Amino acid sequence: MRYKAIIFDLDGVICHTDKYHYMAWRQIADELGIYFDQEINHRLRGVSRMESFEIILEQYDGVMNEEKKLQYTAKKNEVYKELLKGMSPEDLAGEVKDTLHFLREKGLKLAIGSSSKNAKFILSRLGLGDYFDAVSDGNNITRSKPDPEVFVKAAQFLGECAGDCLVVEDARAGLIAAAAGGMECAAVGDAVSCGLATWNLASFSDLKQIV
């Protein structure tokens, strides 16, 4: 096999939670009288919660102290988690489920590498709570993508060298992070147009052809 392990970003790769992020951030933005739309929301993909809020605050007419920022980001997360309760195993695409089983049967180790602090909760809602061999997420890192820390730690958790791991990403920041961590990467969705990936996938199941 070409790789020993595959590390997946979560949002936009295994599942799609963009709409829930958007709804939660929109509620916070409306409360603060800040203009917020899908274009701004798109800039938040792959970055941490606090960094996302800083982007939203670019439209804020005033200065907010750190304590207030923490209050609003915590509130956003509570709104987001409440929305996530509506997720279920039915939100896991059949193509994703079948491909994961194929990779597992080939003997590959599978991990999550996500900046989200809610990764394990989302996985549990999808029925994948104990499916992955390792989960590296926002709870065990200090630097978000494009820093490679989340992927480097995922490889460490798996006990594999970076060069033996393939990262699957849907965001430019994630592709940069994978390369910085010494890993090859496969792009899905919008990330395909970046031209930064080792592999460009037309669909998630294309992973079967490259491992």
CATH code where residue 123 lies: 3.40.50.1000
Mean pLDDT confidence for 40-56: 89
Q: What is the pLDDT of residue 132?
A: 98
Q: Domain containing 40: what range?
A: 18-84
Q: What is the pLDDT of residue 47?
A: 78
Distance CA 204, CA 188 (A): 7
pTM: 0.88
Q: What is the pLDDT of residue 45?
A: 78
| Residue 114 sits in the same domain as residue 164 | yes
- What value does the mean pLDDT of the chain take? 95
Examine the fold and report which residue of 60, 84, 108 is the final residue of a domain before the chain moves on: 84
Mean pLDDT confidence for 109-118: 94
| Contact in structure between 184 and 169 (CB atoms under 8 Å) | no
* pLDDT higher than threshold 90 for residue 156: yes
Examine the fold and report which residue of 41, 65, 84 is the final residue of a domain before the chain moves on: 84
Of 191, 186, 180, the residue nearest 205 (C-alpha):
186
What count of Cα atoms within 13 Å lies in the side-chain half-sphere of residue 3? 26
Examine the fold and report which residue of 27, 50, 84 is the final residue of a domain before the chain moves on: 84
* pLDDT higher than threshold 80 for residue 46: no
* pLDDT higher than threshold 90 for residue 106: yes
Distance CA 25, CA 85 (A): 17
CATH number at residue 63: 1.10.150.240
**DSSP letter string over 20-45?**
HHHHHHHHHHHHHT----HHHHHTTT
Q: What is the pLDDT of residue 121?
A: 94
Give the residue numbers annotated as catalytic, written as ranges.
9, 11
Q: What is the pLDDT of residue 111?
A: 98
Distance CA 203, CA 177 (A): 22
Residue type present at position 101: H
Q: What is the pLDDT of residue 29?
A: 97
| Residue 10 sits in the same domain as residue 44 | no
Mean pLDDT confidence for 35-56: 90
| Residue 102 sits in the same domain as residue 206 | yes
| Residue 120 sits in the same domain as residue 177 | yes
Q: What is the pLDDT of residue 18?
A: 84
Q: Going along the chain, which residue ranges are E strands?
A: 5-8, 109-113, 134-136, 165-169, 184-187, 199-200
What long-range pairs does 176-179 form, CB within 8 A, spacing at least 24? Answer: 176/145, 176/146, 177/145, 177/146, 177/147, 177/148, 177/150, 177/151, 178/148, 178/151
pLDDT in tens, 61-99: 999 999 999 999 999 999 999 999 999 999 999 999 999
Count of the separate structural domains present in the chain:
2
What count of Cα atoms within 13 Å lies in the side-chain half-sphere of residue 48? 18
